[in-house]
Amino acid sequence: MDSKTKRFILSEQEIPTHWYNIQAEMKNKPLPPLHPGTKQPLKPEDLFPIFAEELSRQELNQTDAWIEIPEEVRNLYKNYRSTPLVRAYALEKALGTPAHIYFKNESVSPIGSHKINSAIPQAYYCKKEGITNITTETGAGQWGAALSYAAKAFGLDLAVYMVKISYEQKPYRRSIMQTFGAQVTPSPSMSTKAGKKILTENPNYQGSLGTAISEALELAMNTPNCKYTLGSVLSHVSLHQTVIGLEAEKQMEMAGEYPDIVIGCFGGGSNFSGISFPFMRHNIKGDKKTRFIAAEPASCPKLTRGVFQYDFGDEAGYTPLLPMFTLGHNFAPANIHAGGLRYHGAGVIVSQLLKDGLMEAVDIPQLESFDAGMLFAQTEGIVPAPESNHAIAAAINEAKKCKETGEEKVILFNLSGHGLIDMTAYEQYIAGDLINYALTDEDIAKNTSELEKII
Ligand SMILES: *Cc1c(COP(=O)(O)O)cnc(C)c1O
């Protein structure tokens, strides 16, 4: 076994030159996002007040399958790409499975997660269009940290609204953002109308991504020369993340294999989309029959138990209406851990793909996700991000099935990040303080029944 290649890396020249836009090749296109006021399908111009123009065009682009990666962006990618594709021999052995398990290691980026793959182009396009200030929200702090780095690289000023519970529980991510010069405010805050309203009604509110998005959007709309950026959910974010899957495709070829199953953990959908879409294009063409599995937490099960419905992307209802699987924009995730993946909705592309049966979703209980993360750490030597643990758990479940059937399936999952700044969550798990939490059907029905029926 020791003589076998374990780790596959690409040369600089082999780093992708284009992102893959799956919208162009989907037989059923995603339904259009709607203007929140007029309820008419959005045009790119409708997004210009919020997002950089090029990002607005990418968001709604359903015609170009390949979009060139600007040279400045590719140059920054070269600081850490390609990321390794690794065969998890030790994990396979511990499981006693005949399956071949591979993971794409996005945790080696300077910030420790895949988020930087979209932070760099978003900051780049803003800079190129003469923007001076950007705003965003962050939950666990991964996106905020990645964007802080990218903003600094392009000389932009960044204001981050960080979900209050994470601001308090994850001081190191806050410090990373501040190290790169970002201004970080706990959300909800009194600095915006949206935050003030929520705090007046509920002074102890611990914050949610939906609320933080409302605050960041409000600041962007009220500040000259300022745009808003988002680290997940939107189609242009998924587009940028395809650099992961495009590399993985070449690396799997180096390994002489092709995945039967591709797995990503699922918050808003960006890392899952990134690892999956380049492989999924072969399914769409009819050449392959790979299974794609999104792994979400049982405490926030929008794909497995939510409704497909037009809904807002934020709490206050500032964003366009998005056709997606959702638990309702008023969904307040349980405070059992601040480990990410707690967003109420899913990207519009992924939502359509799930509806059309091109992919599957599973929900993973919290303790099972940490059991998986511990085993992965102890076999492969990397402490995974709590988010990534959901993908590992799903991969382990598939590998165990192979053990029962004796099938030598090839399983590929995305290791979206490392957990070295999330040790509080591991500490709680090791101390036995973490619990499983699943929503009741009544909770879900109550929240989604309040949505305006547009579909
Ligand atoms: C943000 C994040 C996720 C979840 O977001 P997606 O958009 O669904 O990928 C997963 N893993 C890590 C490490 C993250 O930082």
Q: What is the pLDDT of residues 138-152, one digit of tens each?
A: 988 999 999 999 999
**Dihedral sign for Cα atoms in the order 277, 283, 288, 290:** positive
Instruction: Tell me what percent of the residues of the chain surpass a pLDDT of 70.
Output: 97
Q: What is the pLDDT of residues 333-355, one digit of tens each?
A: 666 654 568 888 999 999 999 99
Beta pairing, strands 360-364 & 291-297: parallel
Residue 304 CA to ligand 1 center (angstroms) comes to 18
Q: How far apart are CA 317 and CA 197, in angstroms?
A: 13
Q: Half-sphere exposure of 254 toward its Cβ, with a 13 Å CA cutoff? A: 20
DSSP annotation of 64: -
pLDDT value of position 338: 46
- Asked whether 388 lines ligand 1 (CB < 6 A), one says yes
DSSP annotation of 86: E
> Closest Cα partner for 43 from 33, 30, 29, 28?
33
Q: What is the pLDDT of residues 243-296, one digit of tens each?
A: 999 999 999 999 999 999 999 999 999 999 999 999 999 999 999 999 999 999
Residue ranges of E strands in 343-391: 360-364
Which ligand 1 atom minimizes the distance to the CA of 266? 8
> Closest Cα partner for 304 from 262, 365, 379?
365
Residue 19 CA to ligand 1 center (angstroms) comes to 19
- Asked whether 133 lines ligand 1 (CB < 6 A), one says no
Q: What is the pLDDT of residues 26-83, one digit of tens each?
A: 999 999 999 988 999 999 999 999 999 999 999 999 999 999 999 999 999 999 999 9
pLDDT value of position 218: 95
- Asked whether 277 lines ligand 1 (CB < 6 A), one says no
Residue 158 CA to ligand 1 center (angstroms) comes to 20
- Asked whether 260 lines ligand 1 (CB < 6 A), one says no
Beta pairing, strands 410-415 & 307-312: unpaired
Instruction: Tell me what percent of the residues of the chain surpass a pLDDT of 90.
Output: 85
For a pocket test of ligand 1, which of 111, 142, 262 has the largest count of ligand atoms closer than 8 A to its C-beta?
Answer: 142
* Atom 4 in ligand 1: residue holding the nearest Cα: 267
Between 125 and 342, residue with greater pLDDT = 125
Q: What is the pLDDT of residues 289-321, one digit of tens each?
A: 999 999 999 999 999 999 999 999 887 888 899
